Amino acid sequence: MRKLLALSMVLLISMYSFAQFVHAEENDPELTSEAAVLMDTQSGAILFGKNEEKRMYPASLTKIATAIYAIETADLNDQVVVSEKVKEIEGTRVYLNPGEQVPLKKLIQGMLINSGNDAALAIAIHLDGTMENYSKSINEYLENEIGVKDTHFVNPHGLFDENHYTTAKDLALILNYAMKNDEFREIFGTRELQWEGESWKTKIFSHHRMLKGEIPYEGVTGGKTGFVDQSKQTLATTAENGQLKLTAILLKSEFKREIYKDTIKLFDYGFASYKSAQIKKGETFTSGELEFKAGEDLFVTEPIENGKRVVDDDGVLNIESENGRTLQTIELKPLIEKKPEVKKTTQEPKQSGLVSVNTIFGAVLVAAAILWIMNRKQKKNRRYRSR
């Protein structure tokens, strides 16, 4: 009987623990893609991650980095002379001819909208001359300007190379950074474009099925697809609903239909759970008797319900969900800036040895003069008495 009771208690505890676990995880999206991240486009808060820091092969999502690098480091009106090397390129093309002159902006459009590998190669050679120089320059740019931690690109298009890798988190950081640029945002959201080149005159269309409307989803603002055998399907998408702007990165899905389903799951989860808010410069916060303020205007991401703003004694503002998960951390400044203390000193300035010698010599002279005067007075007194 005791054994039966003990077994029953173990089963009850196990069922309760399992129920608690299911409850804690029931709202998280279940994805088939190997790696994913959902990030607030404005604040950078990570709202969901799956293997988001695992090294992966990005395929044509590389072109997002190539585009913003070109936009920020060159003149979009540059006339690019297409390199002979474009004849060797594999995969999707916009059919550039060697020697053809094409504006840089048009090449970026052909690269992002139609995923032209030849356009990406022409851009890289125009910017840096060789693939070696391009790789060095773009990696430095991504690290210094955007702050990626685990990305290394050796080409501008994403064709497979074992040394060409990134993470879902880094790709989201790159896309968020790029979305702040008006030129990039316009091209990234373009569904179709009339294309006129020396050897190809047509209308090019985005390959992204949600952006084109083939898979309807309200609020999609941009997208880029990718595929090579080693990467499988990759997808980058941005969307907004008037209260929140989201960035979704999905990597290594076996099937195209599944990666779009995963993207929709992420957006549904994000829009149903979170909202964007602003903290104005100078807004104050307290932690016990300590007071702090925001040093600049900031976007923050908060749960739609039961979110918390918690400030610790070091002036770090934590944006937390109901279950205590930290979505964002922000460093605040003390409300009253302490002025550096000036140490007072009563110590007399040190005198040089020369000054000390002069002082002693002067004192001796004064003493000698006094003695001489006193001696003269004594002699006069003696003469007066002798009369």
Domain tally, the chain? 2
Percent of the chain with pLDDT over 90: 67
Q: Are residues 201 and 269 in the same domain?
A: yes
Residues 233, 261: contact at Cβ < 8 Å?
A: no
Whether residue 290 is contained in a domain is answered as yes
pLDDT at 1: 46
Out of 244, 273, 302, a domain closes at 273
pLDDT band, very low/low/confident/very high, at 368 (cuts 50, 70, 90): low
Within 197-289, strands assigned E span 201-205, 220-228, 232-240, 245-253, 274-279, 284-287
CATH at residue 239: 3.40.710.10
Q: Are residues 147 and 45 in the same domain?
A: yes
CA distance 167 to 54: 6
> Which residues pair with residue 278 across a beta bridge?
299
Whether residue 366 is contained in a domain is answered as no
Nearest to 275 by CA among 34, 108, 40: 40
Question: Average model confidence (pLDDT) for the chain?
Answer: 86
pLDDT at 235: 98
Whether residue 11 is contained in a domain is answered as no
Q: Which segment of 51-60, 87-96, 295-304 scores lowest on mean pLDDT?
A: 295-304
Which whole number is the average pLDDT over 100-109? 98
Whether residue 212 is contained in a domain is answered as yes
pLDDT band, very low/low/confident/very high, at 210 (cuts 50, 70, 90): very high
Residues 238, 245: contact at Cβ < 8 Å?
A: yes
Q: Are residues 301 and 195 in the same domain?
A: no
Which whole number is the average pLDDT over 377-383? 55
Q: In Å, how far are 142, 150, 152, 227, 231 from 55, measured between CA atoms?
A: 16, 7, 10, 16, 11
pLDDT at 367: 65
Whether residue 193 is contained in a domain is answered as yes
Which whole number is the average pLDDT over 315-322? 87
pLDDT band, very low/low/confident/very high, at 348 (cuts 50, 70, 90): very low
CA distance 59 to 160: 7
Domain limits for position 266 = 30-273
Q: In the β-sheet with 326-331, what is the strand arrangement from edge to edge? A: 308-311, 316-320, 326-331
DSSP per residue, 100-129: -EEEHHHHHHHHHHS--HHHHHHHHHHHHS
Which whole number is the average pLDDT over 280-292? 88
pLDDT at 308: 86
pLDDT at 342: 54
Q: Are residues 223 and 284 in the same domain?
A: no
Asked if the model's pLDDT at residue 339 lies above 60, the reply is no
Whether residue 7 is contained in a domain is answered as no
SS3 of residue 1 by DSSP: coil
CA 309 to chain centre: 22
CA distance 121 to 240: 32
CA 287 to chain centre: 28
Asked if the model's pLDDT at residue 52 lies above 90, the reply is yes
Asked if the model's pLDDT at residue 26 lies above 50, the reply is yes
Report which of residues 43 and 306 the model is more confident about. 43
Asked if the model's pLDDT at residue 198 lies above 80, the reply is yes
pLDDT at 380: 53
Q: Are residues 299 and 239 in the same domain?
A: no
Q: Are residues 173 and 74 in the same domain?
A: yes
Asked if the model's pLDDT at residue 364 lies above 80, the reply is no
Residue ranges of alpha helices (H) inside 147-232 are 168-178, 182-188, 209-212
Which whole number is the average pLDDT over 341-369? 52
Q: In Å, how far are 14, 69, 249, 256, 302 from 177, measured between CA atoms?
A: 46, 11, 14, 26, 21
Report which of residues 21 and 341 the model is more confident about. 341
Q: Are residues 117 and 212 in the same domain?
A: yes
pLDDT band, very low/low/confident/very high, at 321 (cuts 50, 70, 90): confident
Out of 311, 334, 357, a domain closes at 334
SS3 of residue 253 by DSSP: strand
Token pair listed for 236:
């980058």
Q: Are residues 163 and 312 in the same domain?
A: no
- Residues counted in the chain: 387
Strands 316-320 and 298-303: unpaired
CA distance 181 to 298: 18
Q: Which segment of 1-10, 86-95, 277-286 scores lowest on mean pLDDT?
A: 1-10
CA 158 to chain centre: 21
Whether residue 387 is contained in a domain is answered as no
pLDDT band, very low/low/confident/very high, at 27 (cuts 50, 70, 90): confident
Give the burial class of 270: count Cβ atoms within 10 A of its Cβ; 0-12 exposed, 13-18 middle, 19 or more buried. Answer: buried
Cα-trace Rg, the chain: 36
Whether residue 18 is contained in a domain is answered as no
Q: Are residues 324 and 185 in the same domain?
A: no
